[in-house]
Structure 1
Amino acid sequence: MIKVSRLNGKGFILNALYIETVESFPDTTITLTNGKKYVVKESEDTVLQLIIKFYQSVNLLGQQLVEGNENEE
């Protein structure tokens, strides 16, 4: 789950597993897999970082995939 804010400043929690797309029109619009859309205050990059942190917290995305493996040859 990620916490984002509507344009009026009211915060809400969104299940990141159902996010299909995040776009800027110029406002950031999050589209879920069921077609429902939310316009939020946060930038596209901020929403992406929130999603990545959520995925890491539930072990859906490994730390190495995001940061890269420094020991690669």
Structure 2
Amino acid sequence: MIGLTRTTGERCCLDPAEIERVEAHPDTVVFLTDGAKYVVVETPDQVIGTVREYRAAVMVNAWRLIDTPDHRAEVTGAAVVPFPTRPKV
């Protein structure tokens, strides 16, 4: 979710995957795929930048999950050592 500020000063969070388009007339209007419209104080460039930062962070975190020793072993064909199990109580 990305945080934006409505013209009333209220903060709102939107799912970047649901943003269809962003227009300026003269206020910035964010159109969602479900037909909802949000008038925000951020410029279209700021909204686009926020969406880019969000998507970049998602990609970085995905690569961090993939770049674990166990996953690297699967990719290279090396032996994978199982995680230790907790003793039963």
Shorter-chain TM-score above 0.5: yes
Matched residue count: 60
Cα shift at 1:2: 0.7
Amino acid at match of 1:18: E
Structure possessing the higher radius of gyration over alpha carbons: 2
Q: Does 1:51 align with 2:83?
A: no
| Structure 2: runs of 5 or more not aligned | 61-89
Higher RCO (C-alpha 8 Å, min separation 6): 1
CA distance in 1, matches of 2:9, 2:44: 17
TM-score by length of 1: 0.77
Q: Does 1:17 align with 2:35?
A: no
The residue correspondences of 1:28-47 to structure 2 (distance < 5 A) are 28-47=28-47
CA distance in 2, matches of 1:6, 1:33: 18
Percent of pairs with identical residues: 38
Q: Does 1:4 align with 2:4?
A: yes
Aligned partner of residue 30 in structure 2, secondary structure: strand
User: Runs (4+) of structure 1 moved beyond 3 Å?
Assistant: none
Amino acid at match of 1:2: I
Alignment deviations for residues 27-65 of structure 1 (CA, whole Å, 9 cap, x no partner):
0000011111100010111001000001111119xxxxx
TM-score by length of 2: 0.64
Cα shift at 1:16: 0.6
| Structure 1: runs of 5 or more not aligned | 61-73
